[in-house]
Copies of this chain bind each other. A is one copy, B any other.
Amino acid sequence: MMTPSLRKQHERCADCGIRNRAVCSYCGPQELGLLDTIKFYRSYDPGQEIVAAGEQTDFLGSVVEGVVSLSKTMPDGRRQMVGLMFASDFVGRPMRPIAPYDAVAVTPVRLCLFNRGRFERLLKDTPVLEKRLLEMTLDELDAARDWMLLLGRKSAREKIASFLAILARRAASADNVDADDGFFFDLPLTREQMADYLGLTIETVSRQITALKKDGVVEFPDARRCRVPDFVALLDAAGEDSDGGMID
Contacts and interface: CB of A to CB of B under 8 A. Distances in A.
A172 interface: no
A76 interface: yes
A185 to B, nearest CB: 24
A146 B100 CA distance: 9
A121 interface: no
A95 to B, nearest CB: 6
A195 to B, nearest CB: 10
Interface stretch (A2-10, A110-118, A149-157, A212-220): A149-157
B149 A148 contact: no
A86 interface: no
Q: Indicate how many identical chains form the complex.
A: 2
A187 interface: no
Contact of A151 (B74, B135, B140, B151): B151
A44 interface: no
A135 to B, nearest CB: 6
Residue among A137, A145, A241 with most chain B CB within 10 A = A145
Given A74-B239, A144-B148, A147-B148, 7 more contacts: A74-B153, A94-B138, A96-B138, A124-B131, A133-B134, A144-B145, A153-B199
